[in-house]
Amino acid sequence: MTILAIHGGAGGDGEWRGLTSLDPERIRCMQNVLQSIGEALQSGSIDALEAVTQAVELMENEPLFNAGIGSVLDEDGSVTMDASIMNGLDGAAGSVVNVRRIRHPIRAAYCILKQGWPVMLNSEAADEFAIEQGVEPVEPTWLITKLRQKQWNLWKDKNARPGATDEDDSVLDHDMEGMGTVGAVALDVHGNVAAATSTGGMTGKPKGRIGDTPIIGAGTWADTNIAVSCTGVGEAFIRTCAAHRLAAKYETGLTLQEACQDVLDAVEPIGGRGGIIAVTSDGSVATPFQTMLMYRGVWSDGTITIGIGPNDVDLDSMDS
Ligand code: ASP
């Protein structure tokens, strides 16, 4: 059995108001990721670790997600990105913080994992290491899209708090919000799992701010039983060690759904709204969220499901 689950971020409050004009493009991206990486995973040509890396790279390429090109802008109007990855089989991990000059932060995290030591690199040193390893260099301004610039201008005009346009859909419709952190979890033909997460963080985040995404155990976790990728207000996911908490709860014998609910209940009182994707080595998968929406999709042995709001998207009607 092979499974690939992906997310493209969670956010928004209140009632689901339906797809926006940009959502079909996000759906197409998720469909392509699930189809191409799912097939490779099923054929055994790539393992879980490579599958999550490639899935996240493809989502980093999509300007409508908040990772790689199209990342949200910091307080000073620049892009800084975080990413991490973990392999369930041996607990190997890699992470980059505040990178600015590479196209694929997740590939940089993968290179760190493969090197074996250290686990985390930050800022200029992380960019330099990644470029030496062959990760594609880019100009920092290449990462900035018109949509994100417009969103940042609104954030600035409103003098809003960091992340305000990411969460508050009374400010903007969800095409204009900063949600869109991306993540992937996979189960391969050998029964091994892996997890990866990548983000531009939150709109208007202050210089040097680090969210949960690059923190092993907070935004990303994988062990021999389970792989987890989280999205949402990072500080709460850090304070609860959310991704690792899910693994620990699952190990106590809770079902995957119960363990996910425990984590969402733990982050909520401290301002952590968001979602989780998780897959277990015995083939369970869950994609719960407590926000208005979470971009999400699952490949399970050739069957693809995709959702944004509370219900799955009718992919047949999208094709026609
Ligand atoms: N967790 C990310 C952060 O706090 C943002 C998100 O997932 O929307 O940087």
- Phi/psi of residue 35, each to 5°? -65, -55
Q: Out of 181, 213, 280, 287, which one is annotated catalytic?
A: 181
Cα(290)–Cα(139) distance, rounded to whole angstroms? 36
What is the atom index within ligand 1 of the atom nearest the CA of 200? 9
Question: How high is the pLDDT of residue 159?
Answer: 74
Which regions in the chain score pLDDT beneath 50?
167-172
Residue among 59, 80, 161, 231 whose CB has most ligand 1 atoms within 8 A, to mutate? 231
Instruction: Give percent of the chain above pLDDT 70.
Output: 95
Alpha carbon of 105 to ligand 1 centroid (Å): 15
121 — phi, psi (to 5°)? -130, 145
CB-facing half-sphere around the CA of 147: CA atoms within 13 A:
22
Q: Annotated catalytic, 145?
A: no
By CB atoms closer than 10 A (0-12, 13-18, 19+), residue 43 is: exposed
Whether the CB of 234 sits within 6 Å of ligand 1: yes
Q: Say what the pLDDT of residue 267 is.
A: 97
Cβ atoms of 19 and 182 within 8 Å: the answer is: no
Q: What is the pLDDT of residues 267-283, one digit of tens each?
A: 999 988 999 999 999 99
Yes or no: say if 220 and 230 are a contact pair by the CB < 8 Å rule: yes
Domains of the chain: 3-319 (3.60.20.30)
- Give me the pLDDT at residue 172, please: 46
User: What pLDDT is recorded for position 161?
Assistant: 73
Between CA 234 and CA 237 the distance in angstroms is 5
The pTM assigned to this predicted structure is 0.96
